[in-house]
Amino acid sequence: MDASWEASVTDSINAIYLLFSAYLVFVMQLGFAMLCAGSVRAKNAMNIMLTNVVDAVVGSISYYLFGFAFAFGDASNSNPFIGTNYFALKDIPSSSYDYSFFLYQWAFAIAVAGITSGSIAERTQFTAYLFFSFFLTGFVYPIVAHWLWSSNGWLSPNSDSLLFGSGAIDFAGSGVVHLVGGIAGLWGSIIEGPRVGRFDAFGNPVKMRGHNATLVVLGTFLLWFGWFGFNPGSFDKILVPYPNKIDQGNWTSVGRTAVTTTLAGSTAGIVTLFGRRLLVGHWDATDVCNGVLGGFVAITSGCSVVEPWAAIVCGFCAAWLLIGLNMLALKLKFDDPLEAAQLHGGCGAWGLIFTGLFAKEEFVLQAYNSGKTQVARPSGLILGGGWGLFGAQVVELLSIVVWVSLTMGPLFYVLQKLGILRITADEEIAGLDISSHGGYAYEANHEESGPRFYGEYLRMQHQS
């Protein structure tokens, strides 16, 4: 009776921890909404906030019906590529998963669509969001999650047949979440093309600043807060003691993971602050916010398996990578209003490589073998862990880029050919709020002397 009671208490505490982490990750949706709203022009604020709501509600249904099954289905006929059971949560709770785990993974899934939405902001028809959000959260993302996070995924570090004797380590999703969302956004932005007026007749970039830095800063701190559920929460259980260590268990690894997350984001923010000051001649709050987020994205893969000092290296490199990618984007006339492809795609890719270089074997055993010291696992290349883990990280990176390109690229192309992806130039100049949503997000809006009410916009359309 006592043993049963003790097990029940342990399970309850672990469930509370996972649910609380799920709630934190869901707060990131609010962070994305505020960040996106502040980063676009006022005439498109209502549109971008609505798309964030759509990402959540549409993604919830698609992930419930199909996504969770594709990601974590572990029936006897499941395979390393895709799950085949638990559709519409049939047979949940099971011996493997319960409702708490579903909710936590759902919060991850809807974040992916939010990343992609930023890349195609200010010029996309609302209908297109419904299509790509459903497809991305219900099929494209779950397949990648199955590869890495299901026990029988072909890239999983928990698989019975480890790739290169290691499996790829993507603890909280630098690749699974951020690289997937970033590559999807990359293709959407390329196929749509830049916003009207983003580049002048000579190909020079024209600055299109977001309308509200306050919302950008608010969104950044909300995302920072939510990342403490995103990264430390990925342990799933907190009451897991490590063998031969009476004072250490998952609870100590959870704390260390929160520290590495904070250090990487903070370092990237500082480097971006001074780096952009040198390049543009002034201190830019929005650039620093993106730098902070870039550091978080990069550390998300290896947050549980690296030392705090390595997290500082991660953030330092992520900041310069983001600055460089943004400069390259302008030269290539690539227009991403939220820098989502550069931030989530570029820094997510760096996070995978970073993990292959700096993962510490002791921490890998804690994260994936509950601290069992009699097991040997490949670790970071720079720390003498061999090429196994590094090779698996490179394979994960390339596989995600190919998979998302082969799925989301054609989807955006078809939507464009059907005429349901990009809005017309007139609608874009007027603003999506007035042309698609009946009015502006703010009562008093005089931006670009456009129509103030939906009726005025319709009269202008008839006159033209």
> pLDDT by residue (tens digit) across 162-215?
888 889 999 999 999 999 999 999 999 999 999 998 898 888 888 888 899 999
Look at the chain and report how many structural domains it folds into.
1
- Asked whether the whole model's pTM tops 0.85, one would answer yes
Residue keyed to tokens 């997350």:
261
Do the Cβ atoms of 368 and 158 come closer than 8 Å? yes
Residue 462's CB is within 10 A of a number of other CB atoms, namely 6
Average pLDDT over residues 290-314: 96
Asked whether the predicted pLDDT for residue 1 surpasses 50, the reply is no
Residue keyed to tokens 């019906």:
65
Asked if the structure places residue 1 within a domain, the reply is: no
Asked whether the predicted pLDDT for residue 371 surpasses 70, the reply is no
User: By residue range, what is the domain housing residue 375?
Assistant: 18-443+450-457
β-strand partners of 422: 124
Residue 8 pLDDT class (50, 70, 90 cuts): confident
Asked whether the predicted pLDDT for residue 55 surpasses 70, the reply is yes
Asked if the structure places residue 246 within a domain, the reply is: yes
Asked if the structure places residue 6 within a domain, the reply is: no
Percentage of residues in the chain having pLDDT higher than 90: 67
Alpha carbon of residue 249 to chain centroid: 28
CA distance 101 to 238: 14
Residue keyed to tokens 């085949």:
84
Asked if the structure places residue 196 within a domain, the reply is: yes
- Which CATH number fits the domain that encloses residue 95? 1.10.3430.10
Average pLDDT, rounded, for the chain: 90
Residue 389 pLDDT class (50, 70, 90 cuts): very high
Is residue 93 reached through a cis peptide bond, with omega within 30 degrees of 0 on the bond before it?
Answer: yes
Asked if the structure places residue 10 within a domain, the reply is: no
Asked if the structure places residue 4 within a domain, the reply is: no
Quick one: pLDDT at residue 446?
53
CA distance 149 to 338: 28
At 396-423, the pLDDT tens digits run 999 999 999 999 999 999 999 999 999 9
Asked if the structure places residue 156 within a domain, the reply is: yes
Least confident of 29-33, 265-269, 374-378: 374-378
Dihedrals phi, psi of 224, to nearest 5 degrees: -60, -50
At 167-181, the pLDDT tens digits run 999 999 999 999 999
Q: Please name the helix (run of DSSP H) or strand (run of DSSP E) that holds residue 364, with its range, or none.
A: helix 361-369
